Structure 1
Amino acid sequence: MTQEKRSLHKTPPDGGWGWMIVIGCFFVTVCTRAVTRCISIFFVEFQSYFAQDYARTAWIHSIVDCSTMLCAPIGSYVSNHFSCQVGIILGGVLASTGLVLSSFATSLEYLYLTLGVLTGLGFALCYSPAIAMVGKYFEKRKALAYGIAMSGSGIGTFILAPVVQLLIEQFSWRGALLILGGFVSNLCVCGALMRPISLKEDSLHYPLKREPQLDSSCSPLCQDCSHKKLCYCTTKEYHFLLKPKFIILAVSFLFLAYGCSPPFVYLVPYSLSVGVSHQEAAFLMSILGIVDIVGNITFGWVTDRRFLKKHRYCCYLIAVGLDGLCCLFLPILTCFQLLVPFSVMFGYFDGAYVALIPVITGDVVGTSNLSSALGVVFFLHAVPYLLSPPIAGWLVDTTGDYTAAFLLSGFSMIFCSILLGLAKIINRIKKNPQATVVRSSDIKQEVWTNGDVSCLNAIS
């Protein structure tokens, strides 16, 4: 009955309850991405307590990120076929349970399961549906709305990094994880804010009546499915996978995901290795987080301006490239005073491109497919997120320093930017010759809407 009474909007309202959706998504990113980043603060504690090397300890952070991204399509499925509210509330319960159980860990393998898999699955059910909901409510101010919503990752890191360090000092890492579990349970409150909305574009992609035989057991979004074959609407949901633009974007995400993870995992251990104190190392994460917020909001606002709106793609690849360039300089920064500028620059460009990921994805696939597309996008992050920290840890164990790990991370992000740039150039070259041929032609063609040439007249 609730779904039948739901009002149909021709276009996203760009305000109203949409701002409550932004606030809800903001706190979802605080409780998911910011908490995931702060797990790196536990790195040294886990390594010392369980007496393990860098590579084995790094698997904890990798599994959290991998589970979050690998299970993102599950979050999209629950959101599409049940509701965003159900997905986020369920995810909040699972993530909170995982953190609480992690406080009783007796081995790294135990943490792989509770902190890695269970908490990561909970985050997956929350993250992509919350982000997709923002795209449902905004169009004209979409980049700004996403900038504010995604800034939760930065402001959460800024606040939580020193708080988590203080909790570890006061209550040990077990007590800190227990308190974080209670904090993450607030995801259930965020889920309650996610009021569903129906857009005209949704009704065009998922018509309520398409075939005479309808099964009442199908979900409201999928009224045109038949259980005798694969669900028709599932095919419609993922038809964007064949778009060349999306394929190129998807490949670029593999390199981006590999490059962006190690700096967050190893910034604190690297800082400690060059003589920075524990409090200063945690403060570097706070600086990175607060500047991340500035990057989210300012870059989102700027790219919403009319003169830059059509150049969002270029702004995105520039931000990714500059973030990779920052990583290349990290190995030569050997004191707190030099690491502060790194945190500022890396944090700003990280916030800049993160705010544009859902915007760029939405521009490619459309608003109605955004939830499913984000599920695929975050799914593609899974394997690089899983492998990059342990590979970086193996390089640290093998070489004895962090240089190779950070250089590989930086070059991976730069390659992502170059790939997107080349795709843009090739696409433009393909279009220009066609335009040139038409302009320089000595033949005047009158073409009807069906594409047939009606007549040919020589130009005198």
Structure 2
Amino acid sequence: MSDLVRGQAPIDRGWAWVIVLGYFVSTFCMVGIAKSFGILMQEFIILFNVPVAYAALVMGVSGAVYTLSAPICIACGELFTQRKVVMLGGLIGAVGLSLSAFLVNIEFLIFTFGGLYGFGNACIFGNGLIMLGNYFSKYRSIANGIGLSGASVGQFAIPPLLQFFLDTYGLKGTLLLLGAIYFHVVACGAVYRPLSFYVQRRRSKKERGKKASVDNKQNALTEVGERGDIPLIQIDVDKKHVNNMTEEGSAFHRHHVASTGSVVFGSMDSLHQTAIDMEHPSKDEKTTGSKGKKPLCQRLLSHLATFKVLKNYVVVFFTLVSFLLFFGHFNFILFLPLSAESNDIHRYWKALLISIAGICDLIGRILVGILGDSNKLARYKILAVCTGISGFNILMYEIATVYWWKAMHVGIYGFFGGAYVAILTPVLIDFVGLVLMPPVLSVVLFIQGFGAAIGQPVLGKIHDDAHSYRGVNFLVAASMMVGTLVLVLYPFIKKIQEKRETRKKPERESPEKIVEIMSYSEGNGNFKGNDTDSQPWSSDDKV
């Protein structure tokens, strides 16, 4: 996002916090339902008499759809605005959950709960993170922490509520109520005001003021011309030449071009303003002078995340780390109700375990946001500490033998797991920059979703073969701990990438050649100044 646009928007203030509130409620619905799926999965296994691996396909397909749709949804958000995409996703997800209430068979649930709900999540998550990244700079970590803490509150509130719905209204009524809860995402998406809104509003005010100023100048010129005190300047301009300039996107401002098209009269001030307008045409004039928009598919593909970003070693590194961490963190909480059930922990007690993780998750997200913005420690180091402790406590949960001991480790897992989720996006921006965030985030979500798509059925198969969740918990704990070990290698990966970039730089040009290149670029409108947000690494990065 250009500095001009961000300078006119309420960055770190005002409406930016409304965006945080909208994302908070969105993640409350999205993640709260997803992390409570283990309670529903137990009901599906009993109702349809299917193995765990087959019932887990519901969430597995949801992850697969999320994987395939996330890059497209982010591209559509860049093209059509995040507001429209999130509202559409909320509607589709709510319809999918509501249709699941028919309970035709497990295959029907795979389509409705898995497919439609997964697509809705793909529309919500990435686009919301991009909105937070656009609206926040100084308080980005805090904003991400608060916005993503909606997932923690949802994880705390929805499991016991879900168990209450099951006891009171049955499985069909519960699914209908979940659809109604998810429908609130549509209202949340409506507050995602695009940054272009502020540019358009300021431009309209500026144009109204400019029109009044020009009218005053024209009146003054007419009055002066009648008195004959100051001679007017006459410039011969060929009408064909003006038309050609307009087609090339360098049009005169309408207020400064005479209606005859052959002669322009004006003062020196108006001529100076005309020169400025010619050199920097407005967006509307560029659009008017263009020969037409590209086809929709071509524009969508141009915004679609390409895997070219994987040529960057840091992007590959971050994608691998994200896959390992997400696989371990998400799958543990998903299978936690079933694991607790196998240890004779039933009904509200197993729902309470998820709620304990949720409330500790909330505290962790908020505190890590404050720590991340303090600049006392590099954010990736904070991330490594959080994921290492979270993975270790998954392992300790499996070793624990009594309820309170298990609950303690679930709480610690939730605290540091919440901190991991909240700090992950700021770490991504630290690694690759704000400009590269959308395409890189698309790739990361794609890889994470792929892990979720294959993870649940594979882990379900491990349980069906071993008739125990011990192997499942050991595997997800190992995944988080290996991801942590890989993460601490970041300084080495960064140095390798910097050396690679240095080798790719062309030899230094002579001063005359540099002036020639800059003049050519400016003449074609291609010269760009430094944009700190577009730099993959800043000079003051903490390593």
Question: What TM-score do the two structures reach when normalised by structure 1?
Answer: 0.83
**Cα separation, 2, equivalents of 1:74 and 1:27:** 23
Q: Give the counterpart letter for 1:56 in structure 2.
A: Y
- Residue 268 (1) aligns with residue 268 (2): no
**Cα separation, 2, equivalents of 1:16 and 1:325:** 40
Task: State the Cα RMSD in Å.
Answer: 2.9
Percent identity reads 27
Q: Give the counterpart letter for 2:104 in structure 1.
A: T
Q: Number of matched residues?
A: 416
Q: Which moved more, 1:237-246 or 1:161-170?
A: 237-246
How far 1:101 sits from its partner (Å)? 0.6
- Residue 316 (1) aligns with residue 392 (2): no
Q: 2:293 aligns with which of 199, 217, 221?
A: 217
| Residue pair 1:66, 1:381 contacting (<8 A) in 2 also | no
How far 1:255 sits from its partner (Å)? 1.6
Q: Structure 1: state its 5+ residue gaps.
A: 1-5, 201-206, 433-448, 453-460
Alignment of structure 1 residues 173-188 onto 2, 5 Å: 173-188=171-186
How far 1:91 sits from its partner (Å)? 0.4
- Residue 351 (1) aligns with residue 349 (2): no
SS in 1 for 2:415: helix
Alignment of structure 1 residues 96-135 onto 2, 5 Å: 96-135=94-133
Q: Which residue of 2 aligns with 1:365?
A: 432
Compared with structure 1, are the counterparts of its residues 7 and 388 closer, same or farther at alpha carbon in structure 2 (3 Å cutoff)? closer
Q: 1:340 aligns with which of 407, 412, 415?
A: 407
**Cα separation, 2, equivalents of 1:144 and 1:350:** 16
**Cα separation, 2, equivalents of 1:136 and 1:388:** 32
SS in 1 for 2:401: coil
How far 1:426 sits from its partner (Å)? 5.4
- Residue 303 (1) aligns with residue 301 (2): no
| Residue pair 1:62, 1:388 contacting (<8 A) in 2 also | yes
Q: Which moved more, 1:179-188 or 1:56-65?
A: 56-65
Q: 1:282 aligns with which of 351, 358, 369?
A: 351
Task: Describe the superposition over 1:61-80 as per-residue Cα deviations: whole angstroms up to 9, x where unpaired.
Answer: 22223322331112201110
Alignment of structure 1 residues 192-271 onto 2, 5 Å: 192-198=190-196, 214-218=290-294, 233-234=302-303, 240-271=309-340
Task: Describe the superposition over 1:171-204 as per-residue Cα deviations: whole angstroms up to 9, x where unpaired.
Answer: 111110101101111111001100011599xxxx
Q: Structure 2: state its 5+ residue gaps.
A: 200-281, 500-506, 511-543
| Residue pair 1:270, 1:402 contacting (<8 A) in 2 also | yes
| Residue pair 2:67, 2:448 contacting (<8 A) in 1 also | yes
How far 1:213 sits from its partner (Å)? 8.7
Q: Which residue of 1 aligns with 2:163?
A: 165
| Residue pair 1:71, 1:121 contacting (<8 A) in 2 also | yes
Q: Which residue of 2 aligns with 1:293?
A: 362
SS in 2 for 1:103: helix
Q: Give the counterpart letter for 2:292 in structure 1.
A: S
Task: Describe the superposition over 1:136-179 as per-residue Cα deviations: whole angstroms up to 9, x where unpaired.
Answer: 11111100100000000010111111001100111111110101
| Residue pair 1:237, 1:369 contacting (<8 A) in 2 also | no
**Cα separation, 2, equivalents of 1:133 and 1:215:** 31
| Residue pair 2:72, 2:304 contacting (<8 A) in 1 also | no
**Cα separation, 2, equivalents of 1:236 and 1:50:** 39
SS in 2 for 1:367: coil
Q: Which moved more, 1:283-292 or 1:32-41?
A: 32-41
SS in 1 for 2:411: helix
| Residue pair 1:36, 1:65 contacting (<8 A) in 2 also | no
Compared with structure 1, are the counterparts of its residues 431 and 64 closer, same or farther at alpha carbon in structure 2 (3 Å cutoff)? closer
Compared with structure 1, are the counterparts of its residues 430 and 238 closer, same or farther at alpha carbon in structure 2 (3 Å cutoff)? closer
How far 1:422 sits from its partner (Å)? 2.2
| Residue pair 1:70, 1:379 contacting (<8 A) in 2 also | yes
SS in 1 for 2:103: coil
| Residue pair 1:260, 1:409 contacting (<8 A) in 2 also | yes
